[in-house]
Amino acid sequence: MEHPIFIKNASQLITVGGFSETPARKEKMKQLSIIENGAVWIESEKIISVGLTSELERKYSKQLHQAEVIDAAGKIVIPGLIDPHTHLVYAGSREDEFNLRLNGATYMEIMNSGGGIHSTTARTREATEEKLFKESKNRLDLFLLHGVTTVEAKSGYGLNWETEYKQLKVVKKLQRSHPIDVVSTFMGAHAVPREYKDCPELYVDLIINEMLPKVANENLAEFNDVFCERGVFTPDQSRRILEAGNRLGLKPKIHADEIEPCQGAELAAEIGAVSADHLLRASEQGIKEMAEKGVIGVLLPGTAFFLMTEAVNGRKMIDNGLAVALSTDCNPGSSPTVSLPLMMNLACLKMGLTPSEALIASTINAAHAISRGNEIGSIEEGKKADLVILNIPNYIQIQYYYGINHTDTVIKSGKIVVKDGRRC
């Protein structure tokens, strides 16, 4: 049997408790629930007890000698970070296009002339499953070193069954072999492949009639995502694809209003998507409808930063009642990063969030964005023991320092997987 783990003396133990059933919104997005001089008792993958160090030392006095004790004096303990939107599984990189954009080309111009998503699709189609696995695993290792313990991963660089399947198999293999929990999303509707350029409806039919049933039959994904955008998939096509997935048990997500207004937020509310992501150009009405229907807004500050566009007004969205989560959007074109802490910095500096809101958006609200509010995202008794110890004395320093990785220890499913900032 594994030894229990006892974390004690944390200068701040940030539980983010109380939001397992429904995500935090409005002023509740500031309620972190902080225990000073806090402690956690962990056993068999689960959080067993949370409280003051003195209380837990008393409660477990007879078992203390068997436990692995971590003294977190001068440090903070937070729930493992959750990234609810990544394009983790791809081959290659696109620094050539980064250079083109810095010389004046736009993201959509590059994509419409055959680059962008199409260029990564070509490389992903060519790559062997082993190569794809290795590149994706390397990224997951980096996520872990940044304190991320759960990651959603989308397919969408195959745009034909063979390669979409290859990506989804890589996700399965990562689920079996990597400490990070990987949540699978099918995104055959990431772009219209070049070979269907003149007949996009046929590609939509292919997704609906062939790909989605195979994904559901083989249990390859839990969510179904669509890039609803002018020149990619129309709201009508997106609705058809998401409804078809829904009928097969694949929960809808949507890349909504990223580059231009496209009624994506309205569509997310209409079909009851779990989340609508990006929302840079979402209408106020759309955000209101999402808030009313309980759709989570996943904001991706790194994408606006990297595409050099104005950041979304996250402040206003929270004030209007939207439950907001944050994500890296990790992908080779619009956000090549794994640093969720940096996204929290950007959310504060560019989107008007406060440090407490940014932390809630990266933990419990992010858990809700992947339908896991009851399992992860907070330090509460009975939840999975996913915790991070940061080498800073208070949580505001997560946002105050930027571009610095403070991750000291990562505990994933009750096991220490990062120690002194290194994999172990």
Nearer to Fe ion, 83 or 329 (CB): 329
Q: Contact region for ligand NIG (CB under 6 A) — 200-208, 238-246, 324-332, 384-392?
A: 324-332
Segment 242-261, which members bind ligand NIG (CB under 6 A)? 255, 258
> Tokens at residue 360, please?
């809630």
Nearer to Fe ion, 156 or 341 (CB): 156
CA distance 183 to 194: 28
Q: Which of 243, 197, 199, 196 is nearest to 224 (CA)?
A: 243
Contact between 164 and Fe ion by CB under 5 A: the answer reads: no
117, interface contact from Fe ion, ligand NIG, none, CB < 5-8 Å by kind: ligand NIG
Give the containing element (helix H, strand E) for 346. helix 340-351
The residue behind tokens 């994706």 is 136
Q: How far is the CB of 49 from ligand NIG (least distance, A)?
A: 40
Phi-psi region of 291 (alpha: psi -120 to 50; beta: other; left: phi over 0): alpha
Q: Which of 202, 286, 189 is nearest to 241 (CA)?
A: 189
Q: CA of 158: how far to CAs of 175, 184, 317, in Å?
A: 20, 15, 34
Residue 209-238 contact track with ligand NIG, rule CB under 6 A, x = bound: ------------------x-----------
What length is written for the chain?
424
CA distance 408 to 390: 5
Nearer to ligand NIG, 152 or 329 (CB): 329
Among 15, 237, 327, 334, binds ligand NIG (CB under 6 A): 334
Nearer to ligand NIG, 73 or 308 (CB): 308
Nearer to Fe ion, 329 or 357 (CB): 329
Among 97, 329, 386, 408, binds Fe ion (CB under 5 A): 329
The amino acid at 5: I
User: What are the DSSP calls for 23-72, one per residue?
Assistant: ---GGGGG---EETTEEEEEETTEEEEEEEHHHHHHHTTTTGGGSEEEE-
Contact between 120 and ligand NIG by CB under 6 A: the answer reads: yes
Residue 220 Cα to chain centre, angstroms:
18
Segment 60-99, which members bind ligand NIG (CB under 6 A)? 87
Q: How far is the CB of 90 from Fe ion (least distance, A)?
A: 11
383, interface contact from Fe ion, ligand NIG, none, CB < 5-8 Å by kind: none
Q: How far is the CB of 259 from ligand NIG (least distance, A)?
A: 8
Q: Is the dihedral of CA 132, 138, 142, 143 positive or negative?
A: positive
Nearer to Fe ion, 244 or 300 (CB): 300
Among 149, 303, 339, 356, binds ligand NIG (CB under 6 A): 303
Strand 387-390 relative to strand 407-412: parallel, antiparallel, unpaired? Answer: antiparallel
How many residues bind ligand NIG (CB under 6 A)? The answer is 13
CA distance 163 to 122: 10
**Which residues of the chain form contacts with ligand NIG (CB under 6 A)?**
87, 116-117, 120, 227, 255, 258, 303, 329, 331-334
Site of interaction with Fe ion (CB under 5 A): 329
